[in-house]
Structure 1
Amino acid sequence: MKKELTNRQRQAIETKEHIRESAWELFQSADIEQVTIAQICAAAHVSAGNFYHYYHSKEELFFENYPLLDEYVSNEFQAKSFKSNVDAIKDLICHEVAGAGRIGPHILAQMLRIQLKQDERYPYMIDDSRPFHICLKGLAQAGIDEGEFHPSYTAEEITGTILRLSRGIGFDWAIRNGTYPINQQVENDLDLLLRSFAFPKSIFENS
């Protein structure tokens, strides 16, 4: 049985969320380098001490979408049931992309730009130890074992291709300034991709 939160715990969650939302509003109109913690605190109506109670830096807050996705994988996603591994993968990737949709193309573009610098402090896209990546690879392997994907593929190949698709859509959506519904686009493209894994890899290779 899930333990009910106390009023203090609920208030802490609401305060942290308010700080995050206030910061993301600032990041929509200015780059992270230009936004100060003092500005974030003023927008959220909290003290600097309150800010540092929840975040070590504005960068930690800026990239919180990734830990939030891992938290979803470790908790809510694990409690769900799916008809197939394909359906589970669709849920996982659509949830990932929905996060990009919530923060908007300007913030997503900044995230991609910073990670393109290969700064070791922000390895989110290539960190194979993240729960998100581990879960996706496990679903790909289960899909192979249970006959949903052709055995000519490896779990690594399927996982890598899916991630390249989701990252590519995110990049395209960001540079087009969010001019199309990203959630619907990833559903359509992902469905086509996952269908292709049911066929032998050889039919797509050049003879």
Structure 2
Amino acid sequence: MAKITNRSKQAETTKRKIYECGVRLIRIHGFDGVTVDQIAKEAGVSVGTYYYYFASKFELFSEIFKQADEYFLKEVKGHIKAEDFRGQITEFFEKYAEFNCLNGLEMVKKLYTSDNKMFNIKGRIMQKILEDIIENGQIKGHISTRENSTEITRIFFVVARGIVFEWCLLDGVMDLKSEMNKIIASMVEGYMLNN
């Protein structure tokens, strides 16, 4: 039994090393500027080992988005402190800004391009958490129902990604969290009902 545990720990360590090396190279060279061979060499593994853990370079890139969803599942869902819906939505996007800051400006610059279609994936955990907050607010009569929770979530993410993109354009000189709070709080008011 211990050998299986050690083996699975080693496998997880290897996968994590490949992932971290891939992310580091993508940060430096961009997605198209890195090959699987380079990632494998950087991680100190064979190309075959790379393909054992990741079916393609795109799958490694997808792992970055999976990490974002895991962060929101562990750090955001059930951990929002605000009791009112205005505060819950604003706090959700504070966490979104924090997560982008944790990834670092250079990595975020590589992710926020029109070539990155990962942003178009529907039904991600991150989106579902916000949809649930909005839907709950609609059920309780605090948030407008002129659009459904999925559409309102989409609109908020369009704006939030725009704020992050501006942070990238300005080379991180603006306070991302503060700017996110200000703009999202203003948007939230447009969806709140007077209750």
TM bucket, shorter chain = 0.7 to 0.9
Please list every run of 5 or more consecutive structure 2 residues that lacks an aligned counterpart in the other structure: none
Tell me the SS of whatever aligns to 1:33.
helix
- Which amino acid counterpart does residue 100 of structure 1 have in structure 2? N
CA distance in 2, matches of 1:175, 1:126: 21
Once the two structures are superposed, residues 132-170 of structure 1 have per-residue CA deviations (whole angstroms, 9 ceiling, x without a partner) of 223322221111222442455642453233112211112
Q: Does 1:96 align with 2:70?
A: no
Residue 45 (structure 2) aligns with: 46
Residues 27 and 110 in structure 2, CA contact (< 8 A), matched pair in contact too: no
Alignment map for 1:53-92 (pairs within 5 Å): 53-74=52-73, 77-78=76-77, 80=79, 82=81, 83-92=83-92
- Which amino acid counterpart does residue 187 of structure 1 have in structure 2? N
Cα distance change, pair 183–44 in 1 and its aligned pair in 2 (3 A): farther
Cα distance change, pair 18–98 in 1 and its aligned pair in 2 (3 A): farther
Residues 140 and 155 in structure 1, CA contact (< 8 A), matched pair in contact too: yes
Tell me the SS of whatever aligns to 1:64.
helix
TM-score (norm 1): 0.71
Cα distance change, pair 37–151 in 1 and its aligned pair in 2 (3 A): closer
Residues 128 and 134 in structure 1, CA contact (< 8 A), matched pair in contact too: no
What CA RMSD, in Å, does the superposition of the two structures yield over aligned residues?
A: 3.0
Residues 86 and 192 in structure 2, CA contact (< 8 A), matched pair in contact too: no
CA distance in 1, matches of 2:88, 2:7: 35
Residue 204 (structure 1) aligns with: none
Please list every run of 5 or more consecutive structure 1 residues that lacks an aligned counterpart in the other structure: 201-207
Residue 105 (structure 1) aligns with: 105
Aligned match for 1:134, one of 96, 112, 128 = 128
Report which stretch shifted further, 88-97 or 170-179: 88-97
Cα distance change, pair 32–185 in 1 and its aligned pair in 2 (3 A): same
